[in-house]
Amino acid sequence: MRCTVIGLGEAGRIYARALQGLGHDVLGYDVAPIPTPGLPRAASMAEAVGQADAVIVMTTARASLPVARDAAPHLSPGTLYADFTSAAPGAKLALEDALPAGAVAADVAILGPVISLGASTPLMAAGPGADRTADLLRPIGAPVEVVHGALGDAMAHKLLRSIVMKGLAAVVCEAVEAGRRAGYEDWVRGQIAAELSGDGQSTIDRFITGSAKHASRRAEEMAAVADYCQALGAPSHMSAAARDSLRGLAGSALESA
């Protein structure tokens, strides 16, 4: 199959090499002069996508629609156009208007660190081209979950997941840094590890019910946490956000009482 990878950063190069490894005819395209030894490069968008059976877009999120609009005049009917960017669900849905009627679009969300997991990184695909995307990428070892919905539905799942994954990462970083400055980093790490190793579903339920029930008291505690972090000279963004969130929960509880 003739495949074009647009966006040749680390992730783009990983998928290009994996597709080459299966014998696909792979062409790369990027306006930046990124070295890609062993990967043929197109000199223009027309050359990149004009003869492609599948186009994989791995640019930044803000380039999603501009790239689609640039590619649109050169796409052949039936070409799979898989957008792997982290553009918002609305931008993914807008691909329907940006691409020609004959293109088969897919919204693909990357659900893990490609730099660490390579082509085996879990993916989620939605839109008319979701099944074709799965058929193309599963042979390279990519676990692809197909969501039978509209363009943007895969990205919607990813963004909801990111509330936890990116938020949790930020909380852990803040707690460990404060622990380090206080001289208790090992103890803080142990507390975090113990919490993360428990029963996930029961932990979720405990967080939801406990936060609502004890919002006022916990808000006061998190205010003290934020003040302590500041005294240590450590970041307190997440602690302050938790304080404000709990204050909001406490206010909502009073209104409904």
Q: How deeply is 147 buried, as exposed, middle or buried, from its count of CB atoms within 10 A (0-12, 13-18, 19+)? A: middle
Question: Strand 123-126 vs strand 104-110: parallel, antiparallel, or unpaired?
Answer: antiparallel
Question: Left (φ > 0), alpha (ψ -120 to 50) or beta: where does 229 sit?
Answer: alpha
Catalytic residue status for 166:
no
What is the three-class DSSP state of 54? strand
Rounded CA-CA distance 216/249 in Å is 8
Record the tokens describing residue 37, joined without a space.
């030894």
231 C-beta neighbours (distance < 10 Å), count = 12
Record the tokens describing residue 160, joined without a space.
């909801």
Rounded CA-CA distance 101/38 in Å is 34
- Which residues fall within 8 angstroms of residue 4, CB to CB, at 6 or more apart? 26, 27, 28, 29, 42, 48, 49, 52, 54, 55, 56
Beginning with the edge strand found earlier in the chain, give each strand of the sheet holding 123-126 in spatial order: 25-29, 2-6, 54-57, 80-83, 104-110, 123-126, 144-147
Residues that are catalytic: 158
